[in-house]
Structure 1
Amino acid sequence: MARLGFRILAEGRDCPVTGGYVADLLSDVIANAQEGCIWVTVQRHLNIIAVAQLKKVAGVLVPAGCIPEANVLERAVKEGIFILQGTGDAFEICGRLYGLLQQSNQT
């Protein structure tokens, strides 16, 4: 993640990244995100931790300028959920994440 410019805001448990999902509507994430994905969102409140746990995502990735509140980061560490911050907007972040996943699937 570091080589893509993703900064770790909260350290989580190691698990394989199987894909990505982009949504800001929590009900959409609950209905459609797959286990092991990186969830890209601008949401920064405590409910993202509950949804991340429910869906067993590999981590939550927020764009530049979106910094979760301290209680969110503390809860993420407690629950073992990675919170990452990317540079650029969600579109750019998704492009880099997609490229990395495609490279890893070819090896």
Structure 2
Amino acid sequence: MSCPLRHPAHVAKAAASADVLSGGRLLLGIASGDRPDEYPALNMGFEDRGARFRDSFDYIRTMAEDYPRRDTAQGRLSDGIDMLPKPTAGRLPLLITGGSQQSPDWIAGNGDG
């Protein structure tokens, strides 16, 4: 899934639902996207996709918390709403595919595979 091209709230909700329905067997592959033509079609810049990927990654992780609170470029989570269902293991396992415009150290410290 190309994170910068989809809102992370939708990604988190859909993935958490699939995780619960599968009995906790979901491993979500995420990436920054590598097709420059897709970004202008959605009125988004291609060059800053790495920063948007990190922001989306943090947003998805935060959504698993109870009544999350966080300000991101994607929007504000103000602890007034909660996402249900919650991922089976407490957080979604995220597999970062390719480099996703991140350093190997960042990927090793944040990814789940």
Same fold (TM over 0.5): no
Q: Which has the higher helix share?
A: 1
TM-score by length of 2: 0.34
Greater radius of gyration (CA): 2
